[in-house]
A and B are shown apart, each in its own frame.
Chain A
Amino acid sequence: MNYNWNWRIFWQLSPDGQGTYFHSLIVGLGWTLATALAAWVMALVLGSVLGVLRTTPSKWAVRLGNAYVELFRNIPLLVQMFLWYFVLPELLPRGLGTWIKQMPPPWGAYIPAVLCLGFFTAARVAEQVKAGIQSLPRGQGMAGTALGLTLPQTYRYVLLPMAFRIVLPPLTSEFMNVIKNSSVALTIGLVELTAAARSMQEFSFQVFEAFTAATTIYILVNVIVVFGMRVLERRVAVPGFIGPQVQIPAGH
């Protein structure tokens, strides 16, 4: 193997004129986190609402929730990304569409990326929240009703506090999935971490240094998230309660 290793490449100036290659990787990480966090907030809110809808007694709410989940789970993320980026502005009224298309560089890709990841992940969060609620004994909901609580009150005070604690571990892996999936946004021109590594590789020809750096950063982020969530899990744990295990579904 004859490959010229040059680890000092990170301290050389990158052709984008902003600073060193290392600096552009860090900026990329910033965009990865900004995209993932915004999408995560969206996914958590929307996913929780959908997950709750799918466990209510109302037939139509269940159908709506199911339809949403099936729609967003069965289309590849990359295709959804293209739909948000290329197709949506064309389907909107002309003025609005043009306004979206003319958004200045990072935002023009950032906003569709966040929307896409948010709606995509919401479907997965909805699955987890539903599984969490259904893993609780049926008696809990009935007990709530017996105590004279309304349905929203039963959810708010009885079911959801426990359900969210149970689904915390699967939600952690969903959060990491958002971080990883944000790399798909490079296809619509968002310069996040993977794209930054890719452009570093294209300019400097130091393929393996660039990808090693990106891989290391992803692993570090991963470790931090896992550690943080473990602390959170311990913090919110109800003493003496060992929740039913929610089965880990297929994912990526």
Chain B
Amino acid sequence: MLGQFDFNVIERSFGYLFKEGMTFTLTLTALAVTGGVIFGTLLAMMRLSSFKVLAAIAGAYVNLMRSVPLVLVIFWFYFLVPYIGAWIVRSPQPIQVGAFYSSVITFTLFEAAYYCEIMRAGIQSVSRGQMSAGFALGLNYWQTMGKIVLPQAFRNMLPILLTQSIILFQDTSLVYVLSITDFLGAASKVAQRDGRLVEMYIFAALVYFVICFAGSLLVKQLQRKIAIVR
């Protein structure tokens, strides 16, 4: 059965797949994880804030993002970002943003909602007394958060944050709907050019599997290592 397949196509397109495709996927993942964690943590602090308005805004944002499929969000931002950009720089025409920045913005804003929920659980896992102790020592809100609460929250949530990042890495394949050449996009372009769908898609699945499986094994190991004995 497999005899009629031409696995040579993978060798021929190896450079294109990894130099162009995988580089895009990994860069997008790295930027979106960084941006998402930062923005998500800010959102979590807003959600837990005693200013009701801030909490409500952050809550509405998170719930909105979590109830809409990522594909739709990708489309939204692809068309919306040029208009927002035009509004920011006060240009009369929608500005050109490009597929890469559009997807970085999309993934940062979308995944921030998920990181927010993780960080909220993380902040809540640190006992309230620590916050009060910080204030009692004369630290202000940002000092208490930055020096006492957040480091512990990150430590407690590190495994889940990393797991979410692996999911983000998988999710970046959805930029396919904008015909961007990420890893899957590159594989799909080669597949359609050479009529080698079976080989390319199986290979793509294998590569994603190896990366994500290795990642999840590392997370498990880390979890065992850093678990705080309570």
Say yes or no: A194-B198 contact (C-beta < 8 A), given A74-B208, A75-B212, A248-B121. no
A60 within 8 A of B: no
Q: Is B67 an interface residue (CB 8 A)?
A: yes
Size of B's binding interface in residues, CB under 8 A: 44
Given contacts A76-B170, A83-B202, whether A250 and B70 have CB atoms under 8 Å apart is no
Is B114's CB under 8 angstroms from A187's CB? no
Contact between chains at B92 and A2 (CB < 8 Å): yes
B201 interface hit (Cβ, 8 Å): yes
Are A218 and B67 in touch, CB under 8 angstroms? yes
Residue contact A71 to B75, C-beta cutoff 8 Å: no
> In the docked arrangement, what's the CA distance between A215 and B202, Å?
33
CB contacts under 8 Å to B, within A1-39, are 1-3
Count the A-B residue pairs with Cβ separation under 8 angstroms: how many? 122
Q: List, in ascending order, chain A residues with CB within 8 A of B1's CB.
A: 91
- CB of B69 within 8 A of CB of A181, answer yes
Q: Is the CB of A218 within 8 A of B164?
A: no
Please tell me which one of the listed residues B71, B117, B176, B197 contacts residue A248 in the complex, with CB atoms under 8 A apart. B117
A164 interface residue per 8 A CB criterion:
no
Among the listed stretches B7-15, B48-56, B79-87, B135-143, which one makes contact with chain A, having 4 or more residues with CB under 8 Å of it?
Answer: B79-87
Could you list 12 further interchain pairs (A-B, Cβ under 8 angstroms) beyond the known A74-B216, A180-B68? A74-B209, A75-B208, A76-B170, A80-B205, A82-B201, A90-B198, A91-B1, A186-B71, A198-B75, A218-B67, A248-B121, A252-B167
Q: Which residues of B contact A (CB under 8 A)?
A: 1, 64, 67-72, 75-76, 79-80, 83, 86-87, 92, 114, 117-118, 121, 160-161, 163-164, 167, 170-171, 173-174, 176-177, 184, 188, 197-198, 201-202, 204-205, 208-209, 212-213, 216
